[in-house]
Structure 1
Amino acid sequence: MSKQTAAKPSNPSESWPQRSPLRAPKLGDRVYEQIVERIVDGTLAEGDRLPSEHGFCRMFEVSRPVIREALARLRADGIIESRQGSGSYVRRRPVRDLLRYGDSTNAAQILRCFEFRIALEGEAAALAAARHTAADLRCIREANDACDDAANKGRLGKEEDLEFHMAIAHASGNALFAETMELLHDDIQDGMDTARNLSKGEQKERVRILRDEHGAVLEALADNDADRARVAMRAHLHNAQRRIVGAK
């Protein structure tokens, strides 16, 4: 007796695992963007109390879960803060020119990328201080010199800056640091572009700050001081993030 074989589906997609249907941008994303725009353009100023969840629901004609999702993202990005029993308030306003270099969703992604980089690259720098070889340190110095050369020629030098950070990741001795940064390449470059574009009018000051911050990282690496390298790298990236959100 011959075995019966299961009939193949006429449409190959019928055998695929069931997934949620493709959707347009989520309502939470749209609400998030509109609140950010109101903060950036000054409609909601720093220190202002945000409308209640019910007020936002009426304003945007969406449900409470949608509003809560948008507010959670705003808190995660450091733009608003919640006060017990009082509501949510604008914590800081991203600089007005930020949206010239991308929409509010892109701006939020840049801020989240900086937050992740602070954690990731801080540890990479600490490990690099403890583990780097003479060849590693030479590569880091050369990348830093290339940053200086680009600045002296009046260029933004984003490629050189990224190479400096990648050289440190490689020197950590753990390939996952560099591989993760490669995966984040586009987001990292977007962040570098934005930070530089926002400080174009202060080129000399930007160059001075970059040299000082890179110099502090490099000195800690050369001294094999892991704690100091971690602090210097975290401070460097945190300062770049602060320039984007306009923090004092």
Structure 2
Amino acid sequence: MNPGHALAADRSEPRFSDIIYEKIVGMIADGRFPVNERLPSEQNLALMLGASRPVVREALERLRADNLIVSRKGSGSYVRQRPDSSVLKQVPVGSLADVQRFFEFRAGLEAEAAELAARNWQPADKARISAALEALERCLVLGELGADEDQALHEAIAIATGNQFHVIVREWFRPHFAIGMSVTRSLSLKRTPAHVREVQDEHAAIVEAIFARAETEAHDAMKRHILNARARMFQGVGTETPRPGEQGPRDGGT
């Protein structure tokens, strides 16, 4: 089963604002709404997409939070960056917003797991985490995707918490974890070696803090890593330079 299908299966119907959000993302990704160009007005978007203005407004708020558009006072909303169109091909229709929400969920869950792992790891956990990190490093050197190895590292950290519920949650939501990692890892293969190294350095910082039993540092390093992964989904193939007076993501956005 395609792991992304589980996202759609968790709900009877996707929210209409999620579908509109995804349609606008698609229009940005395929260049119909180019970087630096002004989006149609809220009213015109509503007519174009067959939606109410409140639904369009909700979709635009999420696009702004995801750093895809910015608002300029008295001028409207402008496209800030164009995501890789392959993102849309890897998730079922109506579930892209859920993928983003799951990253938000992961940020809290896995930050707590890293903190607990720093407090509770045993020698067997250290060996398991070290082996997983080394496997990811080999993937980097060989230019391989490494989605399974990435998953294995995060699972090893969950085991090291000493709390079985962290492991159970990962099993329950395994397809959700899998699709997020698959998307971000596949996108990383299209980017520079320096970018890929940056991601691996984030993993190394988490592991270093855990092994040092630095609970707060482990928590913060993991949260930063997950939120960065969320942002990397939409790192554009074209990006605008922010201008004075722009309204970007709200506090806590990426």
Q: Give the structure-1-normalised TM-score.
A: 0.74
Match of 1:132 in 2: 121
Q: 1:23 to 1:134 in 2, by over 3 A?
A: closer
SS in 2 for 1:62: coil
Matched to 1:145, the amino acid is: E
Higher helix share: 1
Q: CA deviation at 1:136?
A: 2.1
- Residue identity in the other structure for 1:157: G
Distance 1:92 1:177, change over 3 A: farther
Distance 2:191 2:31 in 1: 24
What value does the CA root-mean-square deviation take over the aligned residues? 3.1
SS in 2 for 1:241: helix
Is it true that 1:66 corresponds to 2:55 in the alignment? yes
Distance 1:60 1:203, change over 3 A: closer
1:241 and 2:223 are equivalent in the alignment: no
> Deviations along 1:168-195, whole A, 9 cap, x unmatched?
1222233333322222211221122112
Cα distance change on mapping 1:216 and 1:29 into 2, 3 Å = closer
2:104 matched to which residue of 1?
115
Unaligned runs of 5+ in 1: 1-21
Is the aligned partner of 1:190 residue 2:187?
Answer: no
**Post-superposition CA distance 1:90-141 (Å, at most 9, x none):** 4443234423434563443333222322222122112211222222222211
Instruction: Find the residue that maps to 1:224 and give its secondary structure.
Output: coil
Match of 1:28 in 2: 17
Shift of 1:163: 1.3
In the alignment, structure 1 residue 50 sits paired with structure 2 residue 39: yes
1:59-94 Cα shifts (integer Å, max 9, x gaps): 233323332343344345443455677654444432
| Aligned residue-pair number | 227
Indicate if the aligned counterparts of 1:77 and 1:112 stay in contact, CA closer than 8 A. no
* Whole-angstrom CA distance in 1 between matches of 2:48 and 2:190: 38
Cα deviation digits, residues 149-181 of structure 1 (max 9, x gap): 444555322222111101112222333333222
Q: Is the 8 A contact 1:37 1:104 kept in 2?
A: no
Q: Using the aligned pairs only, state the percent identity.
A: 41
1:101 aligns with 2:99: no
Q: In the alignment, residue 233 of structure 2 is paired with which amino acid?
A: I
Could you say if the C-alpha distance between residues 105 and 25 of structure 1 is closer, same or farther in structure 2, counting changes exceeding 3 Å?
Answer: closer
Please give the secondary structure, in 1, of the residue aligned with 2:82: coil
In the alignment, structure 1 residue 219 sits paired with structure 2 residue 211: no
Which shifted more, 177-186 or 94-103? 94-103
Larger RCO of the pair (alpha carbons < 8 Å, separation 6+): 2
**Does the 8 Å CA contact 1:77/1:108 hold for their aligned counterparts?**
no
- For residues 56 and 112 of structure 1, the distance between their equivalents in structure 2, rounded to whole angstroms, comes to 24
Give the greater-gyration-radius structure (CA): 1
